[in-house]
Amino acid sequence: MPENLKVRLKASCIHFVISFFVLSLVSVALFAFYYPGLLGVASGVLSVFGLLIVVDLILGPLITFVIFNKNKRWLKLDISIVISVQLMALVYGLWILFSVRPVFIVFNIDRFDVVYANEVSAQSLARVSNSAFAKIPIWGPEYVGARLPQDQVAAKEVVMNAISGGDDLSQLPEYYVSFESISKDIIQNVRSLEDLKKYNKSNLSEVDALRERYLSKIDNIGYIPLKAKISDLTVIVDRSTGSILELSSLHPMDNSYGVNSIDLNTILRKSSDAK
């Protein structure tokens, strides 16, 4: 192997190792705090993160391999430019992922909704009276509940706004309540694990594995659908306490599940019963 090729390959490998180390630290923080567990897949973050991998882990070292020549007069400048562009791409990509990160997982009438940072408006935050919900979380999503206002006119306005394409109840933090306070609501809306077989006919083995994990208390285990940006998830719940046991990638419904699929009067009745 020619000496020059060896030097370029070594420089490229060093660049690759450094990039891999930095990207590994970033990915640990990203998926541990901001997109934990299945939320990364359900939120569509993997495609953006994949682009970061291509730019920082493949293109950067490849460009170094192409341009590296220890006898080149402007080598340090060229390498500095490559690293600068690489860092700018990384920072820009991370800023995008941070700006659209999940901030709340909201129990909304009879389902969970994942709410993202870019879906909560400053105007809505300004109307929040409970200081616990006056700011969006910095370090990962928080579980909360949401209840329609007691005034029926205001409640209908919220629902109709959601049906017409505006903010849903889950995107309005002025109506948030603590997660502990909606345990009864959760218990009342828990679905049977048997229903999962209807929506996961091609994946019955995973449904059976789920039941097997909770076999000792299977009568107290159910689920509630969770809506996310790209794909829906299944929230496994303890029927007796309303506590969340885990998130599953099993399909909770056989079609898109949103406010439009629920009758307006049913929504208002459920909200009134919860209060």
Entry field: residues in the chain:
275
Same structural domain for residues 269 and 179? Answer: yes
Same structural domain for residues 120 and 247? Answer: yes
The domain boundary, picked from 69, 99, 129, lies at 99
Our count of domains for the chain comes to 2
Cβ proximity of 231 and 131 under 8 Å:
no
How far is residue 167's CA from residue 197's CA, in Å, rounded to a whole number? 32
Cβ proximity of 181 and 144 under 8 Å:
no
Same structural domain for residues 55 and 188? Answer: no
Tokens 């599953």, residue located: 248
Same structural domain for residues 251 and 240? Answer: yes
Q: What is the dihedral of CA 69, 21, 48, 170, to 10 degrees?
A: -160
Asked if pLDDT for residue 101 goes beyond 90, the answer is yes
CA distances from 128 to 66, 142, 171 (A): 55, 16, 12
The domain boundary, picked from 99, 132, 149, lies at 99
Same structural domain for residues 237 and 161? Answer: yes
Q: What is the dihedral of CA 256, 104, 43, 124, to 10 degrees?
A: 80
Q: What local confidence, expressed as pLDDT, does residue 49 receive?
A: 86
Same structural domain for residues 167 and 111? Answer: yes
For 156, phi then psi, to 5°, come to -65, -35
Max Cα separation, the chain? 80
The domain boundary, picked from 99, 121, 147, lies at 99
Give the residue numbers spanning the domain of 124.
102-274
Same structural domain for residues 74 and 132? Answer: no
> pLDDT tens for residues 163-193?
887 888 889 999 999 999 999 999 999 999 9
Q: What is the mean pLDDT of the chain?
A: 86
Q: What local confidence, expressed as pLDDT, does residue 243 receive?
A: 92
Same structural domain for residues 131 and 16? Answer: no
Q: What is the pTM of this model?
A: 0.81
How far is residue 175's CA from residue 256's CA, in Å, rounded to a whole number? 24
Asked if pLDDT for residue 159 goes beyond 70, the answer is yes
Asked if pLDDT for residue 199 goes beyond 70, the answer is yes
Residue 224, SS3 per DSSP? strand
How far is residue 29's CA from residue 196's CA, in Å, rounded to a whole number? 33
> pLDDT tens for residues 215-245?
888 889 999 999 998 889 999 999 989 999 9
How far is residue 211's CA from residue 197's CA, in Å, rounded to a whole number? 11
Q: What local confidence, expressed as pLDDT, does residue 255 receive?
A: 61
Same structural domain for residues 82 and 109? Answer: no
Same structural domain for residues 116 and 32? Answer: no
Helices then strands, each counted (H, E), the chain: 11, 8
Number of C-beta neighbours around residue 261 at 10 A: 10
Same structural domain for residues 76 and 121? Answer: no
Asked if pLDDT for residue 254 goes beyond 90, the answer is no
Q: Which of 94, 24, 12 is nearest to 61 (CA)?
A: 12
Determine how β-strand 191-192 pairs with β-strand 111-116: unpaired
Which residues fall within 8 angstroms of residue 10, CB to CB, at 6 or more apart? none
